[in-house]
Structure 1
Amino acid sequence: MRKIVLFGFIILFFVQCASIKKHNKHLNDLITEEKLKSDVDYTYRKLQELHPNLYWYINKEALDYKFDSLKSTITKPMTSFNFYKKLSPVVAAVRQGHLFVYPPTKILTKRETRALIKKGTGPFSQFDFELFNKKLYVVKNKSYNKTIQSGTEVVAVNGTKPIDLIKKYNQYYSSDGYNNTFKTNYSGKRFSTFFSNENGIKDSLKFDFKFNDSLKTITIKRKKEDTTGTDSKKNKKKRAVKHKTKSKEIRKKKRVNGYYSIEKNYNRNLHFLEKDSSIALMKIRSFKIGDYKTFYKESFSKITAYQSKTLILDLRNNGGGRVSEIADLYSYLADSTFVFLDKSEVVSKASLFKGAYLNGGSLGFKALKTVFSPIMYTYLLLTVHKSQNGKNYYETQTKPHKVSKNAFKGKIYVLINGGSFSASSIISSNLKGSKRAFFVGEETGGAFNGTVAGFMPRIKLPNSDIQIRIGLMYMAAYFKTNLEGHGIFPDMEIIPTIEDRIKENDAEMSWILKDLKSSF
């Protein structure tokens, strides 16, 4: 049996490698007009079959026109990448942030990835970038060249002006609805991805930098890890002995809080800002990894024991994650029994079954799913119901929840910005609608009145091999607003400047601490 399983893994490995080689080999192939137009029709058909609320922000006539117009512009064969540039703006017109067209780029094998990592940290990864007033700045320098200061403007990279590329790529994706904060927040951090899509992964880049009106050109190469000095074998052994006693504690923290090994930080953190622990600060980077139930149980137990009077919940740049987690967190923040979500709209039982369950995965995994498909379809028959309005609904987090034993009863501040998206916007909608919290920062990237997400399969177009991620469930918090297509607005708007980044000044947090002092 063991040999059969091993043989199966070997077969899957070679199938995957062959698939990657085939993908990379045909990236520059020209695809005929007929096949490209067929992919346009396939895209629209899949959106209609799978995407609930497709015409939320654009009416059917307007979207029909965009797809028809797209086909009329396809007059000659083109590569899949050039087709992506034509297709993605049309899909982005739906104005749903989870609906996303992936650019067809070279895929690295595991061996190639390991070899690249061995060569060292890439030039882009040695900096953190942000966009301020339509200019790209270095906000953190992690490179070997320490002359590049925080607040240095990136004028060009290998001759490409950042704002030109950012404007181009901003057409290819959308936020939820009409807000602009999501793209402003997202595009600066993702400039390196945009550049790599166009030019491939580079071992060195020529940066044109500007600081205090002084221009200079610097070439940044891959940075290899320093294996000398403080990282010698002797020092490593000393550190290993030192940390051995704490290893069990560290392992638990990584498991519970969630740990990002690349960034070397925790997904969830709880700190107390005053000596008397009167102010608790909870930073949550995402609602994805880690044992959230244990984290919130232990954290709110501490907050209760320390008798903290104020909780600051930092959801800035939190791109979302599990609905079960935000419902659990809300049970510690609500002041009474609550309903967390409305019923989630889906196109049909088949849209969940075919779109989410049967779609995607390896050949072996697909075969396994086929065996259990009768059980899954039976489950969907019992959980997806057609309402009197003719729409189908999947119920999750719709029953009344009781507040948790150690629910926080004090004052709550929530920090938000354009990077607060998806699940972080859903919990913010309930906190805002129930008037349970005071919001500081800028409008969220996710919409107040919900988003189309939940199950999000990637659909591969048959001729161009382009993949499109489609949300299958319209999910909305219990509370709503009359203003459609916008996020949660702050009660106190504070937008950080490049000067704040240079001085490492957290403007939003500073305002909260001043507000607390003035209220005493």
Structure 2
Amino acid sequence: MKKTSILFYFFITFSLHSQYCDVYVNHKNNKGAQHFICPESMKADLAQLYEAITKTHPNPYLYCTKEQLDSAFIRANNMVLTPISIFDYSMVISNFLQNIRDSHTFFNPRDLLVLSGNNYGIVPFYLIKIDSNFYLSKVYKKTLPVGVEVLEVGNLTVDSLFRLTSVLCPKESHTESALNEITSRMMGIVFNVRNIEDKIRMKYVNINGDTLITQLHRVKSNKLLKDEGWQPPKTISYDFFDDVAYLRIFSFETANERRFKKTIDRFFRKVENSYVSSIVIDIRENRGGFILLLEHLLSYINTSGKTFDLTYSYKRSDLDRFETLSKLKKMDFIKKAKRVYPRGMISKEYDFFNSPKGTVSHILYEKQLSNRRDYVYDGKCSLYINGLSMSASVLLAAWFKETNRGKIIGTPCFGSLQGTHGNPATIFLKYSGLPISISTLKLTPKNTQSQNLGDIEIDKTISFKKADLRMVKDPFEKQHSTD
């Protein structure tokens, strides 16, 4: 009921009632807040979405019952009885998907900017919530000093913008702490998706306590993508601070797997040849990626010698990993499977491949962790995480906790000890044209002892404070000397 009330509030506040609506939406050169879609089109898209979820997702009822999801579907249909903007419709969809509590099954509001093309200027900025206030953590062209308290952006108070963003933010398990971090992070995106004004002002409080207003710098989205100063850092880097070896992994997804592995190899070669008292692995803001790259990292710190065991839960569908293989790769898979059948893991995959659509299979993968140098660092090891660590990063945090490999420092990641989902497929809703990601895989650690679906417990909490932002200091750097 609370979610429905929030949606009604935003519809009344932000949607301009219009008699005209589109059956099919043409997003090009149209902002989502300006474009209205007809009720029957929205209902048809909701039906398409629910059918795709039930046919594709390996277990949409892991965190909610079928009855609860059915009720959410009915509520969503009741929200689209009159024409509403495509932006408001995206909130209806997101609110429905949040019931599944799977961050890989969601609508990304950024796609509304992508769909509208490159003709609209945006005001890139990030906010961070500290206690009950919001502070600027990054802004394009450094229009304002980082660390100022922000009160309003455009015609929205930051509290209203946070509530609006919470409707569009994905959920994962019952990780409420991480959800707050991600919601704060997405506020800038949601503002730009909704905004239709040319001039954007930000009201803020400076370091002297004065309340001021300034106009933000706008930039075309295609130009922003080419701005190296704004884009995230490279995938992986490392450094050494006295006797502490520091490895920063921004993502387990890379265009060059070989280069990623070689960087890991070089790091641990230096660790082996240096006097190192401890290693820090920093996966803050790591959105996940390839399991095989995670396994390569684990091979260097797996002091127990045990296999890395994950249960892969698949549902046979038109969108599963085997159906989306190219024709040549599918032929190669079948040929290799037949050659060794019924032995090996590939034979289990082949059985699943030959099963009828709708079949759910649980395949246990037991990975023997190894590297070419046959080296394992057995010293002290710490893991830095925060609420933006998700997907494969959650598996790493769960492994650290279950194996007691070292301290987990920071704030809870976006996932639980029960693992994560993955391999999302994208469908496009017929009438609205919105792209929706749907998980085709669930990965569950075999040795998970706890049934806790909440936060993975942190050994030491570290987060940004106002002073850290204003002095542009990373509070985690102070931790290096104590690791």
Quote how far apart the aligned CAs of 1:308 are. 1.4
User: Which residues of 2 match residues 29-428 of structure 1 at below 5 A?
Assistant: 30-103=36-109, 105-107=112-114, 113=118, 124-125=123-124, 127-140=125-138, 143=141, 145=143, 148-200=144-196, 204-211=199-206, 212-222=208-218, 262-263=230-231, 265-274=233-242, 278-289=243-254, 290=256, 291-348=259-316, 350-352=318-320, 357=324, 369=326, 383-385=349-351, 391-394=360-363, 398-402=366-370, 405-428=374-397
Quote how far apart the aligned CAs of 1:73 are. 3.4
SS across alignment from 2:92: helix
Q: Paired residue for 2:223?
A: none
Distance 2:54 2:376 in 1: 42
- After superposition, the Cα gap between the structure-2 partners of 1:67 and 1:300, relative to the gap in structure 1 and judged at 3 Å, is same
Distance 2:273 2:369 in 1: 24
Quote how far apart the aligned CAs of 1:425 are. 1.2
Q: Paired residue for 2:416?
A: 447
Q: How much is the aligned-residue C-alpha RMSD, in angstroms? A: 3.2
Distance 2:90 2:236 in 1: 36
- Decide whether the 8 Å contact of 2:147 with 2:466 is kept in 1: yes
Distance 2:210 2:468 in 1: 21
Q: Give a deviation string over 1:150-174, Cα, whole Å, max 9, x none.
A: 3211111222112211212212233
Residue type at the aligned position of 2:131: N
Distance 2:122 2:87 in 1: 24
Distance 1:155 1:443 in 2: 27
Distance 1:323 1:477 in 2: 12
- After superposition, the Cα gap between the structure-2 partners of 1:38 and 1:375, relative to the gap in structure 1 and judged at 3 Å, is farther
- After superposition, the Cα gap between the structure-2 partners of 1:123 and 1:219, relative to the gap in structure 1 and judged at 3 Å, is farther
Q: Give a deviation string over 1:73-115, Cα, whole Å, max 9, x none.
A: 3322344333222121011111111111134635478xx74x8
**Rg larger for:** 1
Q: Give a deviation string over 1:321-368, Cα, whole Å, max 9, x none.
A: 1111101000001113332232200112654158x617xxxxxxxxxx
Q: Paired residue for 2:6?
A: none
Distance 1:135 1:494 in 2: 18
Q: Give a deviation string over 1:10-30, Cα, whole Å, max 9, x none.
A: xxxxxxxxxxx9432786665
Quote how far apart the aligned CAs of 1:261 are. 7.0
- After superposition, the Cα gap between the structure-2 partners of 1:435 and 1:138, relative to the gap in structure 1 and judged at 3 Å, is same
Q: Give a deviation string over 1:438-481, Cα, whole Å, max 9, x none.
A: 1111111122211111x211111112212110111101234324
Q: Paired residue for 1:23?
A: 27
Q: Give a deviation string over 1:477-503, Cα, whole Å, max 9, x none.
A: 343242432232211223332223223
Q: Paired residue for 1:253?
A: none
SS across alignment from 1:221: coil
Distance 1:157 1:431 in 2: 40
Distance 1:220 1:73 in 2: 34
Quote how far apart the aligned CAs of 1:281 are. 0.8
User: Which residues of 2 match residues 451-470 of structure 1 at below 5 A?
Assistant: 451-453=420-422, 455-470=423-438
Residue type at the aligned position of 1:90: F
Residue type at the aligned position of 1:62: Q
SS across alignment from 1:105: helix
- After superposition, the Cα gap between the structure-2 partners of 1:158 and 1:349, relative to the gap in structure 1 and judged at 3 Å, is closer
SS across alignment from 1:101: coil
Deviates more, 1:296-305 or 1:457-466: 457-466
Equivalent of residue 459 in structure 2, options 474, 478, 491: 491
- List alignment gaps of at least 5 residues for structure 1: 1-20, 117-121, 225-258, 359-368
Quote how far apart the aligned CAs of 1:206 are. 1.1
- Decide whether the 8 Å contact of 1:37 with 1:74 is kept in 2: yes
SS across alignment from 1:23: coil
Quote how far apart the aligned CAs of 1:302 are. 0.8
SS across alignment from 1:209: strand
- Decide whether the 8 Å contact of 1:137 with 1:153 is kept in 2: yes
- Decide whether the 8 Å contact of 2:136 with 2:148 is kept in 1: yes
Quote how far apart the aligned CAs of 1:216 are. 0.8
Q: Paired residue for 1:17?
A: none
Quote how far apart the aligned CAs of 1:264 are. 7.3
Deviates more, 1:148-157 or 1:44-53: 148-157
- Decide whether the 8 Å contact of 2:55 with 2:317 is kept in 1: no
- After superposition, the Cα gap between the structure-2 partners of 1:336 and 1:221, relative to the gap in structure 1 and judged at 3 Å, is closer
- List alignment gaps of at least 5 residues for structure 2: 1-24, 221-226, 338-345
Distance 1:217 1:490 in 2: 39
Deviates more, 1:407-416 or 1:341-350: 341-350
Quote how far apart the aligned CAs of 1:179 are. 1.3
TM-score by length of 2: 0.80
- Decide whether the 8 Å contact of 1:494 with 1:508 is kept in 2: yes
Task: State the percentage of identical aligned residues.
Answer: 20
- Decide whether the 8 Å contact of 2:150 with 2:202 is kept in 1: yes
- Decide whether the 8 Å contact of 1:349 with 1:384 is kept in 2: no
Q: Paired residue for 2:3?
A: none
Quote how far apart the aligned CAs of 1:304 are. 0.2
- After superposition, the Cα gap between the structure-2 partners of 1:172 and 1:341, relative to the gap in structure 1 and judged at 3 Å, is farther
Q: Give a deviation string over 1:174-212, Cα, whole Å, max 9, x none.
A: 332111232322223322211111015x76421111124
